[in-house]
Amino acid sequence: MAQPKKKTSKSRRNMRRSHDHVDTPNVHVCECGEPIIAHRACSACGSYKGRQVITSEDA
């Protein structure tokens, strides 16, 4: 396999990777209707993947 003749600088590497970053998070709608970020428990109802994982202290 071919090898690079010179080391790629941090600046050039980061400029190449600048378009790989996703600006907006992946947002889903919870069962209760609230928009939530993917792979996070819902802050409104406390459920995650259909299971209740956070109990409310008010009840």
Walking along the chain (59 residues) 10 residues at a time, the average pLDDT comes out as: 94 92 84 91 90 74
pTM above 0.75, yes or no: no
3-class DSSP assignment, residue 14: helix
CA distance 31 to 35: 9
Domain ranges (residues) in the chain: 10-52
Query: For tokens 């409104």, what's the residue?
Result: 44
Q: What is the pLDDT of residue 59?
A: 43
Return the DSSP state at 37.
E
Give me the amino acid identity at 3. Q
For residue 36, give the nearest of 21, 20, 53, 19 by alpha carbon.
Answer: 53
Q: What is the pLDDT of residue 5?
A: 95
